[in-house]
């Protein structure tokens, strides 16, 4: 973790990964996604901002869950919405 990491990011000791490699909400509506993100508060996996439905960001705003992790293979980073902060792990 970098020295500039926010309190949300530095509070995370174990990063939650995706239970399934799919966007929970896109599957319900039969839509597609580009990349997947996992909410570090509740563990739900949703789609990124390059996806048409941007479910991860909608979830973060609606639920006030601050931090997501990339659910893409080989990517190891976290992002905090309220602080607009990235951290690799
Ligand atoms: Zn934060
Ligand atoms: Zn989605
Ligand atoms: Zn959540």
What pLDDT, in 10s, does the model give residues 29-73? 999 999 999 999 999 999 999 999 999 999 999 999 999 999 999
With bands split at pLDDT 50, 70 and 90, how would you rate the model's confidence at 28? very high
Distance 19 CA to ligand 3 centre (A): 13
Q: 27 pLDDT exceeds 60?
A: yes
Residues 6+ apart with CB under 8 A from 20: 45
Protein residues with C-beta less than 5 angstroms from the ion ligand 3: 39, 41-42, 63, 65
Q: What's the DSSP call for residue 32? A: -
Q: What is the largest CA-CA distance in the chain?
A: 41
Q: Which two tokens stand for residue 61?
A: 């705003």
With bands split at pLDDT 50, 70 and 90, how would you rate the model's confidence at 5? low
Q: 7 pLDDT exceeds 60?
A: yes
> What pLDDT shows up at residue 1?
47
Distance 44 CA to ligand 3 centre (A): 6
Distance 2 CA to ligand 3 centre (A): 24
pTM of the predicted structure, to 2 decimals: 0.93
Distance 15 CA to ligand 3 centre (A): 13
Distance 4 CA to ligand 2 centre (A): 30
Distance 11 CA to ligand 1 centre (A): 9
* CA–CA distance, 70 with 4 (Å, rounded to integer): 19
């Amino acid at each position: 973790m970098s020295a500039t990491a926010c309190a949300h990011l530095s509070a995370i000791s174990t990063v939650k990964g995706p239970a399934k490699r799919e966007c929970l909400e896109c599957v319900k509506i039969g839509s597609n996604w580009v990349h997947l993100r996992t909410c570090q508060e509740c563990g739900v996996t949703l789609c990124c901002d390059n996806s048409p439905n941007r479910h991860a960001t909608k979830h973060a705003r609606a639920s006030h869950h601050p931090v997501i992790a990339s659910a893409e293979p080989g990517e190891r980073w976290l992002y905090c919405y309220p602080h607009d902060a990235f951290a690799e792990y």
